[in-house]
Amino acid sequence: MIKTAFITGASSGIGRATAVALGKAGFQLVLAGRRRERLEELARELAEVPTQLLTFDVRDRAAVEAAVQSLPVAFQDVDVLINNAGNAHGLAPIQSGNPQDWDDMLDGNVKGLLYVSRAVLPAMTRRNAGHIINIGSIAGYEAYANGNVYCASKAAVASLTKCMRLDLLPHHIRVAEVNPGAVETEFSAVRFKGDTERAAKVYDGFEPLRAEDIADVIQFMVTRPPHVNIAEVLILPTAQGAATTIRRE
């Protein structure tokens, strides 16, 4: 029986690459994101893969619930949930941070993960089966200057992942976290509010990870036998030793 993978933030970066990888691995896909045109482009690329597109912002609980409830019967029993949607906004010391940036990060990275998980979990708990992978960050384990609220939001993801794994243990649901280091996606462009020149400098002088590198690991994790849960993965480019320690040539 074909399995269903539900991916948030599927319109770009790690989410998009994961959709491609899981489509190739034989999953049918629920692709969720805010940018409908990008989701439609991805669906065309995955022409041979059964897909359903959901357009919503994970920060909007009512929209999340309505979108999940709108899924056709064939896609309702989600086997794998990839909580990938999230964001980083700004890089400022706490005393001069933008409160709207704080709200956006906490609402997207923490509350959005909760809203989507809560909407999808009833079908998993009913079947006593499922697999959830939360996309964290090295920033959830290592604080760095000016990272404050972003680091805190990803630390919350790490803690939530552990708690979810305990809460869902009686239901045979695997819960895991993938923590990337420096990955070249739209992440930095979003953090720096569209300043592409500043964003590009983040990756100067070394070879960062690609979204496909993270997707390969996720594909491996979700295709392990049911008795195996790869609970936590930290993925760094070879040139990175810690959150802000990178060897640049």
Between residues 198 and 37, which one has the greater pLDDT? 37
Secondary structure E strands in 61-114: 80-83
pLDDT in tens, 13-51: 999 999 999 999 999 999 999 999 999 999 999 999 999
Active-site positions?
Answer: 150, 154
pTM reported for the whole predicted model: 0.95
pLDDT score recorded for residue 186: 78
pLDDT in tens, 233-242: 999 999 999 9
Instruction: Single out the residue of 236, 237, 126 nearest to residue 173, CA to CA.
Output: 126
Strand (E) or helix (H) holding 55: strand 51-55
- For 105-127, b/e burial (b = at least 16 CB within 10 A) is bbbbbbbbbbbbbebbbebbbee
Torsion angles phi and psi, residue 211, rounded to 5: -55, -35
Domain 4-246 listed as CATH 3.50.50.60: no
Angle between helices 148-168 and 112-127 (to 10 degrees): 10
pLDDT score recorded for residue 25: 97
